[in-house]
Structure 1
Amino acid sequence: MKKTITLLAFAAALAAPMAAQAHRAWMAPTSTSLSGNDAWVGFDAGMSNGVFIPDHAAMRMNGLVVTAPDGSAVQPEHLMQGQYRTTFDVHLTQNGTYKVANVMNGIMASYTLNGEQKRWRGSAAEFPSALPQGATNVQATRTSSRIETFVTLNNPTDTVFTNARDGLEMIPVTHPNDLVAGEPATFKLSKDGLPAAGLEVTVARGGLRYRDNPEESTVTTGVDGAFTVTWPEAGLYWLNASVRTAAEGDTIASNASYVAVVEVLP
């Protein structure tokens, strides 16, 4: 069976959020820095035109993973999906920084069978053996989407900033829970474990509903994947980057996106 691997136009939908798409995905915490021995943080997640404004669709949390400062997994509580937003809580009991991420990846493919166009979606481990016998004109794209934020109980730590080497990821140079208005912060993006050079990163501040200026800017990563942002105002910020790689020979195409939500203090 001959399989020609090419980039699928419809794969862009799974790889949302992309900066160029109308609806942006976000996951916003009620607080990012807390103190004490025991604390709770609530989260809203959704897809919308303006970031942090739940006006389009709730986010599915099939890939939700909460990582504690010691590397253990924390079970989110009170998870509920509504019409426009998904909500859940995380109980913080360890000192340090937690990573809250919704990670989605897999393969999207189209093929022809008995003269009809078909589509398939599944994990990378299943492809291509899960396709039916006799499938031809196979077109496939590996997709990866990561949406994350960070919260700290007492003192910030960096143990959760590991590189899974899968899709687009961010490794902070400046701690994401130590951001102050008017001060620069530096982060690094990687693609499958390697520096993601030359990527445009969109930076947008929340609160658009209450102002006319969108306060959105773009920065570009350097050869080492690093980019620097100087925050103009305090508030919640949405950072987004995406990259598409076309197929070459038998190498499958890829479509990856990354979103981080960070809080900047006055």
Structure 2
Amino acid sequence: MKTMLASAALLAGLGLSGLAHAHSPYMLPSTFDVSDRKVVTVQGSFTESFFTPEVVMKSDTYAVVGPDGVRKALTPTYLRELALVEAPIETAGTYRITTGQRAGRVGKATLVNGEWEFLEPGKAPAGAEVVDMQSITTADVYVTRGAPSTGALAPVGKGLEFQAITHPSDITTGQPAKFVVLYDGKPVAGQEVTLTAGGDRYADVKAAPVTVKSDAQGRFELKPERSGVYQVQARYRVAPAAAGQPGQSHTYSLTFESLR
């Protein structure tokens, strides 16, 4: 189940993301085309303005997935506003640099019109069933050395994620980029997905985030209208699996570059 969080302050405190008004997660590489190097540096952070880091994104599961599909752990360096990882780029192909699934804080939530909403402390509606809800955040980015490859694009099959149909290194300005939204490896129908452009600080007219919904097969399309770097994000909430267990609020984000 999906819904917007009620409080920006709660979002930031939980390590969750609010699409336009609270801190959202992202991974940003020093470059997307790594053909001329053997290592790429990637920052992980939460922000309200892409891509200006504000809150460091800590994770025990930072990793790089190589063109062969093999996953290798990365050791982050934590600063106050961001985390930095260096991923080795040893062979040609596409690499996924990821935070992995990182568990955030646990808040209180309740069902409102069939959707889970987080509650501000001490403000549960009278008679409402209140459950614990834990945030789970995953942020990914793809970089390519030489010709794009597909080994690193394989879905993890756990939690919320996007399966790229259009290769992330082949996204072209003004053309549709196609994805499938998955939860535990299965397509999610009717899922809201929001695309946000970076670099608005210097724009004469700021581009508003664009929200689309996945179809019955979990497919959705995005069309970047100008060249630049973008963050695309979704959130999916599930009820507790059993009494005494917390529910889960999954946030997934992908950063990509669009070129003409």
More displaced stretch, 210-219 vs 176-185: 210-219
| Greater fraction of residues in strand | 1
Distance 1:23 1:151, change over 3 A: same
Q: Deviations over 1:1-29 (max 9, x none)?
A: xxxxxxxx979954612426511111101
SS in 1 for 2:152: coil
Deviation at 1:169, TM superposition (A): 0.9
- Percent identity between the two aligned chains: 26
List runs of 5+ in structure 1 lacking aligned partners.
1-8, 112-136
Match of 1:68 among 63, 66, 69: 66
Q: Which amino acid aligns with 1:32?
A: F
- Root-mean-square deviation (CA), in Å? 2.8
Q: Secondary structure at the match of 1:34?
A: coil
Query: How many angstroms apart in 1 are the aligned matches of 2:215 and 2:64?
Result: 30
Going from structure 1 to structure 2, the CA distance change for 1:90 and 1:110 (only over 3 Å counts) comes to closer
Residue equivalent to 2:83: 86
Cα distance in structure 2, aligned partners of 1:142 and 1:193:
20
Offset, 1:212:
4.7
Which one of the candidate residues 155, 174, 192 is aligned to 1:200? 192
**Residues 12 and 80 of structure 1: CA distance in aligned 2, closer, same or farther (over 3 Å):** closer
Cα distance change, pair 90–186 in 1 and its aligned pair in 2 (3 A): same
Q: Distance in 2 between matches of 1:157 and 1:198?
A: 29
Between the aligned partners of 1:139 and 1:221, the Cα distance in structure 2 is 28
Query: Which shows bigger deviation, 198-207 or 57-66?
Result: 57-66
Q: What SS class does the counterpart of residue 59 from structure 2 fall into?
A: coil
Question: Is 2:206 the partner of 1:214?
Answer: yes
Give secondary structure in 2 for the equivalent of 1:62: coil
- Indicate conservation of the 8 Å contact 1:26/1:238, yes or no: yes
Structure 1 residue 72: deviation in Å? 2.3
Alignment of 1:25 with 2:17, yes or no, is no
Corresponding letter in the other structure for 1:262: F
Residues 69 and 154 in structure 2, CA contact (< 8 A), matched pair in contact too:
no
With structure 2 as the length reference, what TM-score do the two structures score?
0.78
* Letter matched to residue 239 of structure 1: V
Higher gyration radius (CA): 1
Contact 1:202/1:218 (8 A) holds in 2? yes
Once the two structures are superposed, residues 102-131 of structure 1 have per-residue CA deviations (whole angstroms, 9 ceiling, x without a partner) of 1235596689xxxxxxxxxxxxxxxxxxxx
Deviations 1:202-234 (A, max 9, x none): 101110211253322111111111111111011
Q: Which residue of 1 aligns with 2:253?
A: 259
Count matched residues.
230
Q: 1:249 Cα shift?
A: 6.8
SS of equivalent residue, structure 1 residue 213: coil
Amino acid of the structure 2 residue aligned with 1:89 = E
Preserved contact between residue 103 and residue 137 of structure 2 (Cα < 8 Å):
no
Give the structure-1-normalised TM-score.
0.76
Gaps of 5+ in 2: 1-6, 109-128
Alignment-mate amino acid for residue 233 of structure 1: R
